[in-house]
Chain A
Amino acid sequence: MLAKDRPLLEMRGISKAFPGVQALDKVDLDLYPGEVHVLVGENGAGKSTLMKILAGAYERDAGEIVIDGEVQAHWNPALAKAHGIAMVYQEFTLVPYRNVAENIFLGREKTRAGFFLDKRVMHQEAHSLMESMGVPIDTRLPVMELGVAQQQMVEIAKALSQEARILVLDEPTSALTVREIEQLFETIRRLKARGVGIIYISHRLEELFIIGDRVTVLRDGQRIGTRRVAETNADEVIKMMVGREIKDLFPRRYCQPGEVALRVQGLCTHDKLRDVSFEVRFGEIVGLAGLVGSGRTETARAIFGLDPRTAGTIEVMGKKVDHIDPPRAVEMGIGLLPEDRKRDGIFPILPLQTNVVMASLKQLFPRGILNPKKEQLEAGKYVKQLRVSPPDLAREVQYLSGGNQQKVVVAKWLCTGPKIFIFDEPTRGIDVGAKAEIHAFMDQLANEGNAILMISSELPEILGMSDRIYVMHEGSIVGEFPRGTDAEEIIRCAMGAKACK
């Protein structure tokens, strides 16, 4: 299958550092015409950084980009485009109320008399483009009337209409149904036949073996290896992805779990969750693993009453809860450390002390009158306990580091005195030191008899911190594992490689 001639693209020894983290460390990647090169790796492995460097959106610290055998001295978005590199991002760049043809040619319209759209030519070209991709979409339909898959096709058509020779698809199937994925693959095969090189980023292993020619695994900013798909198997790829020894990194000291704190049965929401059931006991850290989009965060939101549930029961400390909304959840002693800290966790422009007391105003000041002394005292207590730095209570939280912001959110919940904690990605995007502190603190909380449900995309964290592990896939819980389970087994389960239980 592989063309024998020289590669379309070579990226050699690419390095890139962000403050506090080496995002890429001497990574190589090459791409031949007519090839699908799959890029896999956990979150934060460096895939998207590498692609942004390719697109010219980021500058690289070291390494070279070679196109058609020529080393490129200069590199920027315009040059990337000129060399036929096109990206299809997960977020679409389509104009909803205009039609397919206008979207494909956005910014490069065909005109008559230099002013009027030449709709006939645009539709003709758009139509033949769609035909050549094997997707006969009516180019006169407004994009908003198309399904997600069709919109994706329009994105790809848009990329191809710019004479793309190198096409980057970032998680293209994350929003597609099985049938739509089949259609996408059909299109990819046609593009291959035309000699287009495709870099395909995916979380789903099964796709790798259907559509990929070669696979490169990234982990912690390094290239672990590149394999021909025909010469490898799922086990090897998974091993490459997980790799490291993780046992000693985490401080979890096991203790005997107590009563059931939270029991969820048959939980459904209108779009994401199907029949989710699990339980968390006091004194226990329960990990909830799964791919991005598998419904973990949605589970947390539904328990906390942020999203409405359509079916199922939630029992808190043995009592069935009929109606739940956030104020109610707080009253019952549940605290939610949200996935998106900036969006749902902190009040960036408010001072530290206000952030800490915000969830417990009612408890601290039942008569509605604020007592600044008491506010400072309470906030100060938790700031000290969690070692937030700097411990300046008047400082706006936006000026704290990510790790300290996260501690502020933890402090906010400690202040309400909850018994059940839901930690959604507790250490995402924070530095190693703060990470260890938060892990130690979670361990302490559990050993003091609190119940903790921890959602994480980092497998080492799940394996290292959890006493029990549930795995979610496409909105359902597909497996439950005890502490000490192999990483490979959990990844396989999360990727839906096969049914497990």
Chain B
Amino acid sequence: MTLKSFLLRFSRLLALVLLSMVVAVLNPNFLKISNLINIVRQASPQIIISAGMTIVLLTGGIDLSIGSVVTLASIIAGYVLTQTKLHWSIAIVSALGSGLLCGLVSGILVAKVKLPSAIATYGMLWVGRGLAFAIMGAFPYFGFPNAFRYIGRGILLGIPVPIWIMVAVALVVYLFLKYTTLGKSIYAVGANPYAAKASGLRVDRILIYTYMLSGLLAALGGIILTARLNAVDQDIGAPFLLPAIASPVMGGTSMTGGRGGIGGTIIGTLIMTVLVNAMNLLRISSLWQQFAIGLVVVLAVWLDMWIKKKTA
């Protein structure tokens, strides 16, 4: 069984490599170091955001508010940067704080009010959106200080800063899930919430922490994005939701909880980014990207269900 699961994990990496090879054959420019770095840099905010979703999925829930939280955090950062005279670090802290707060509310709705997570976080989606509109009004914020933009555009030791941040986040989440009792408990809640409760785990608290983490990571993704684009509007976050669900599932994280991890999510996101990058290189209109992603989501989830049925 371990061999089987090893092969399954390996197969995803294999898919990524195969896809890359096909693209490289069609367009040799794909393999240029600059293009490869570009792909990883593009994927970085999505990987960070998807990491949060991965943790929520591990508990057997889903966080539909993720795109909305990205938007809200970005707009709050933009507001502090352009509408106040506060230091840029305050912008980061308040953006991250807003993410945590959104997660706290979602978590309470799920754990205490016992709303299904899809409904609770869908509500949060609207609230976050509403707040974003209320704060920003009709005009986008743009033109941020250079120190802040460094987060999105800077280069450290030849590698873009977003990649450094993404690697750090991935490492921390990996260690958190694997080597902390809270991480273990998250798997337990997803694997069997009843047994978790009957084993004396504080399921409510674990769920609330989970959604707060998801909010925090979404906010971090939003900050990097804002810093990179040097501008922010209300549509900045929404496109991140679908890939955030698709990439963990493609990476082997089960929609029913208890199984999966951050490694697969990174591969899943890279597959999608490579797909988009390839479409650009091959001059396929970016308008078809949504179509490709939709198809990939369905296929990925179907594969997940199919494997589960086969191994059950």
Contact = CB atoms under 8 A, between A and B. Distances in A.
Answer yes or no: A and B touching, Cβ < 8 Å.
yes
Interface stretch (B184-192, B231-239, B245-253): B184-192
A103 B200 CA distance: 42
B200 A329 contact: yes
Contact of B179 (A336, A344, A354, A369): A369
A205 interface: no
A304 B194 CA distance: 13
A369 B183 CA distance: 10
B198 A370 contact: no
Contact of A350 (B178, B183, B187): B187
Interface of A: 304, 306, 326-327, 329-331, 336, 338, 343-350, 354, 358-359, 361-362, 365, 368-370, 372, 394-396, 399, 412, 416
What 3 A-B pairs come out closest when comparing CB atoms?
Answer: A330-B200, A347-B191, A359-B199
B145 to A, nearest CB: 38
Given A369-B180, A370-B181, A306 B197 contact: yes
B114 interface: no
B192 A348 contact: yes
B264 to A, nearest CB: 15
B52 interface: no
Given A306-B197, A330-B200, A349 B180 contact: no
Given A350-B187, A370-B178, A359 B192 contact: no
B1 A347 contact: no
Contacts of B87: none
5 contacts: A345-B195, A350-B187, A361-B184, A395-B1, A396-B1
A368 B1 contact: no
A327 B196 CA distance: 10
Nearest to A331: B200
B203 to A, nearest CB: 9
A348 B188 CA distance: 10
Given A304-B198, A326-B201, A347-B195, 12 more contacts: A306-B197, A327-B202, A330-B200, A343-B192, A343-B195, A344-B198, A346-B195, A347-B187, A347-B192, A350-B187, A372-B179, A412-B199
B258 A368 contact: no
Contacts of A372: 179
Contact of B185 (A329, A344, A361, A396): A361
Interface string B272-289: 000000000000000000
A27 B196 CA distance: 42
Contact of A346 (B2, B182, B192): B192
B194 to A, nearest CB: 5
A349 B259 contact: yes
A327 B258 contact: no
Contact of A326 (B182, B187, B199): B199
Contacts of B179: 369-370, 372
Contacts of B180: 368-370
A58 to B, nearest CB: 21
Given A349-B191, A350-B191, A370-B181, A358 B197 contact: no
Given A346-B192, A349-B259, A396-B1, A362 B181 contact: yes
Interface in B197-246: 197-202
Contact of A370 (B2, B184, B191, B194): B184
Contacts of B178: 370
B198 A338 contact: yes
B201 A358 contact: yes
B256 to A, nearest CB: 9
What is the interface residue range for chain B against chain A? Answer: 20 to 34
B200 A348 contact: no
A327 B206 CA distance: 13
B183 to A, nearest CB: 7
A344 B191 CA distance: 11
A159 B307 CA distance: 39
Contact of B181 (A330, A346, A365, A412): A365
A350 B192 CA distance: 10
A349 B311 CA distance: 11
Contacts of B183: 370
Contacts of B2: 394
Contacts of B181: 361-362, 365, 368-370
A349 B183 CA distance: 16
A362 B194 CA distance: 19
Contacts of A304: 198
Given A347-B258, A348-B192, A327 B201 contact: yes
A413 to B, nearest CB: 9
Contacts of B197: 306, 326, 344
A372 B181 CA distance: 11
Contacts of A338: 198
A183 B180 CA distance: 59
A362 B202 CA distance: 11
B188 A350 contact: yes
A363 B183 CA distance: 16
A361 B259 CA distance: 19
Contacts of A343: 192, 194-195
B258 A350 contact: yes
A96 to B, nearest CB: 18
B116 to A, nearest CB: 18
A304 B192 CA distance: 18
B171 to A, nearest CB: 15
Contacts of A359: 199-201
B258 A326 contact: no
A416 B198 CA distance: 13
B198 A306 contact: yes
Interface in B1-20: 1-2
Nearest to B197: A326
Contacts of A346: 192, 195
Contacts of A358: 184-185, 188, 195-196, 199, 201
A85 to B, nearest CB: 32
Contacts of A336: 198
Interface string B129-156: 0000000000000000000000000000
B188 A347 contact: yes
Contacts of A362: 181
B188 A326 contact: no
A394 B194 CA distance: 22
A358 B185 CA distance: 8
A462 B14 CA distance: 57
Given A347-B258, A362-B181, A368-B180, A327 B192 contact: no
A395 B2 CA distance: 8
Interface centre among B1, B188, B191, B199 (most CB of A within 10 A): B199
